[in-house]
A and B are shown apart, each in its own frame.
Chain A
Amino acid sequence: MFLWFHKLGSPPHFYRIAGKWIPWLSWIFLMLLLAGLYGGLIEAPPDYQQGESYRIIFVHVPAAWMSLFIYVVMAFCGAVIIVWRMKLAEVVLISSAPIGASFTFLALVTGSLWGKPMWGTYWVWDARLTSELILLFLYLGIIGLHNAIEDKRVASRAVAILALVGVVNIPIIHYSVEWWHSLHQGATVTKFDKPSIHWSMLIPLLLMALAFQVYYVLALFQKCRVELLQRERNSKWVEEL
């Protein structure tokens, strides 16, 4: 097990494995996405209060979950970079950032479009909305910092520290709706209680969440391969390709 992990950490090995997985992941993602969209947009019944407009949750909620999840992955990579100086963790961290930023942006935009008819406003400076916006700035800050430093190994260490510092925002985003009075509603699924959503809506929601998760791995593998080739362009294994 440890040996397998160790081997995966070596750039040429990872490059090969990721390349093999990409077509499979693409198919799995496509199936999950189609099943989730069909379930969410066609099969699922309308909501008793919001009617059809609630269907935006099938994109909004998984996107918001991914925005948090990807950040946690990046912070974990940050710790690995600082402690073990692992090259692959550097690549995973920086390749994750644009994907995470896109999911955060998607969550903010879909939420805002839903907010206008339901709440009566596109945007309020509510604790949940503000902390999610800070998350977007953290992602953008990480991308910017990485681009600003020429030496990519030095850049990775700087970015690792930024990612680790920003991780305090993650519990704040999640608990913001409990700690403070906010306009955003409380958690529906991610709580210890029974989810307060009917199963006919929950199943497509989870399918979409899974689809987004697979999409993240897929996009990550593709970005990592490109980043690895760029970083290791002078090494022997790249020349042999």
Chain B
Amino acid sequence: MTPARKKRLGLIMLMVCGVALGVGLALKSLDQNIMFFFTPTEVNSGKAPANKLFRIGGMVVEGSVARPGDGLTVKFDLTDNEQSVTVRFAGILPDLFREGQGIIANGKLDGSGEFVAEEVLAKHDENYMPPELAGMHEQKDDQ
């Protein structure tokens, strides 16, 4: 490689590293804003903003889904396997909503520590398999 080319190669490598460093630092400082949701543990320890809309994400606790009152309101517990938060939602749930499924709710905490959701989104996991196979997995777990 000629010296001129070496210099140019060095310069662009420096440029790419510099930009990567800059973007990396910027993203690091924006960390909280890029986080799409808070976990129940974070919410319980007061990290989530009060009196402001935020999102909470977790798994719907098995057997916790209840429909008290008018039949449209749904109540369920969300957990991150450490702590859990009770969520109240009045509206239409997405197709993938079920017990044990990861979901994300957008809303606010009310005074009593319950989360009042305005929107509920289902978070899909990365597993794809035929239904027969999923049935086999469940049977194995039952045994």
Chain A residues near B (Cβ < 8 Å): 45-50, 53-54, 57, 78-79, 82-84, 117-121, 124-127, 161, 164-165, 167-168, 172, 180-183, 185-188, 196-198, 200-201
Contacts and interface: CB of A to CB of B under 8 A. Distances in A.
B133 A48 contact: yes
A183 B125 CA distance: 10
Interface string B75-104: 000000000000000000111100000001
Given A79-B9, A172-B23, A197-B128, A180 B94 contact: no
A185 B5 CA distance: 43
B123 A183 contact: yes
Contacts of B35: 180-181
25 contacts: A45-B130, A46-B130, A47-B129, A49-B96, A79-B12, A82-B8, A82-B9, A83-B9, A84-B5, A118-B122, A119-B96, A119-B121, A120-B94, A120-B120, A121-B121, A164-B12, A167-B16, A168-B16, A181-B35, A181-B36, A186-B126, A188-B128, A196-B128, A197-B129, A201-B129
Given A82-B12, A201-B129, 15 more contacts: A45-B130, A48-B129, A50-B124, A78-B12, A118-B95, A120-B120, A121-B119, A164-B15, A180-B34, A181-B37, A183-B121, A185-B124, A187-B126, A188-B127, A201-B130
Given A48-B134, A196-B128, A198-B130, A181 B39 contact: yes
Interface residue tally on B, bucketed by range: 35 or more
Contacts of B19: 165, 168
B142 to A, nearest CB: 16
A160 B104 CA distance: 40
Interface in B15-51: 15-16, 19-20, 23, 27, 31, 34-39
Nearest to A57: B128
Nearest to A129: B36
B124 A198 contact: no
B25 to A, nearest CB: 12
